[in-house]
């Protein structure tokens, strides 16, 4: 017994509709897959403020920290860096300690030494004065030791005033003092110290380590080193 013609027609129509629907679904799925494979990846756009551009650490969410000492030094201008170097080099520990006139005078007086100026003044800019301004503390200590060791009276008559020979180890730079000669101190120097040739101006020299005594006509010129 065969299927009625009307039922066969309806079945064919249903099959055609199902095939059409299936084809549509496949086409849509293929298009979506192709679109997913070929479309470029989406890029998130973030608004960045000018301050963030200048400070990349803020863009990463980093916590701002206080600059280190090295960073602060490196941020200084060249003039500031030069000033820092100059300040460091100006404070060398091997620079001699120097005394003022009053300081040196009181140290000599406390140790029993005397000070005498032919002009009765202490201005180091005047040759007829006897100044102790800017004399080395070590020079004052050495002449005090000379009095103690010799047990002789010592009178300082020349210091850092102008009028003496220039040089690295000179009166003006605080390395030399003149003292008044007397029999006690002269015998101590000539008998106890080693003779050391004659200076260019004819003054006999005597040496005791770094100390050099030069016998000039009216005083002893002494270099303390």
| Rounded percentage of the chain residues whose pLDDT exceeds 90 | 57
Q: Could you state, in order of their start, the residue ranges of all structural domains in the chain?
A: 98-180
- pLDDT, residue 11, reads 63
What's the rounded mean pLDDT across residues 7-34? 59
- Summary mean pLDDT of the chain: 77
Q: Select the more confidently predicted residue: 6 or 102.
A: 102
- pLDDT, residue 95, reads 84
- pLDDT, residue 209, reads 92
Report whether 221 contacts 214 (CB < 8 A). yes
| Rounded percentage of the chain residues whose pLDDT exceeds 70 | 58
CA 1 to chain centre: 118
Q: Select the more confidently predicted residue: 62 or 4.
A: 4
- pLDDT, residue 116, reads 95
Pairing state between β 176-179 and 219-223: antiparallel
Q: Select the more confidently predicted residue: 53 or 187.
A: 187
Indicate the range of 92-101, 137-146, 175-184 predicted with least confidence.
92-101
- pLDDT, residue 222, reads 98
- How many contiguous H segments (helices) and E segments (strands) does the chain have? 8, 9
- pLDDT, residue 74, reads 47
Question: What is this structure's pTM?
Answer: 0.59
């Amino acid at each position: 017994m065969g299927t009625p013609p009307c039922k066969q027609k309806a079945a064919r129509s249903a099959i055609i509709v199902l095939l059409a629907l299936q084809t549509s679904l496949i086409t849509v799925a293929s298009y979506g897959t192709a679109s997913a494979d070929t479309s470029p990846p989406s890029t998130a756009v973030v608004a960045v403020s000018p301050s963030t551009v200048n400070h990349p650490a803020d863009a990463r969410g980093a916590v701002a920290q206080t600059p280190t000492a090295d960073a602060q030094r490196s941020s200084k201008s060249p003039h500031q860096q030069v000033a820092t170097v100059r300040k460091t080099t100006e404070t060398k520990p091997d620079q001699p300690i120097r005394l003022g006139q009053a300081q040196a005078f009181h140290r000599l007086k406390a140790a029993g030494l005397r000070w005498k100026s032919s002009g009765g003044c202490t201005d180091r800019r005047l040759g007829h004065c006897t100044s102790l301004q800017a004399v080395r503390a070590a020079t004052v200590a050495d002449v005090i030791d000379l009095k103690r060791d010799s047990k002789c009276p010592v009178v300082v008559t020349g210091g850092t005033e102008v009028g003496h020979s220039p040089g690295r180890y000179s009166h003006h730079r605080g390395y030399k003092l003149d003292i008044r000669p007397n029999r006690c101190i002269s015998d101590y120097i000539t008998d106890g110290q080693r003779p050391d040739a004659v200076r260019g101006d004819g003054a006999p020299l005597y040496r005791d380590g770094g100390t050099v005594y030069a016998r000039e006509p009216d005083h002893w010129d002494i270099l303390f080193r």
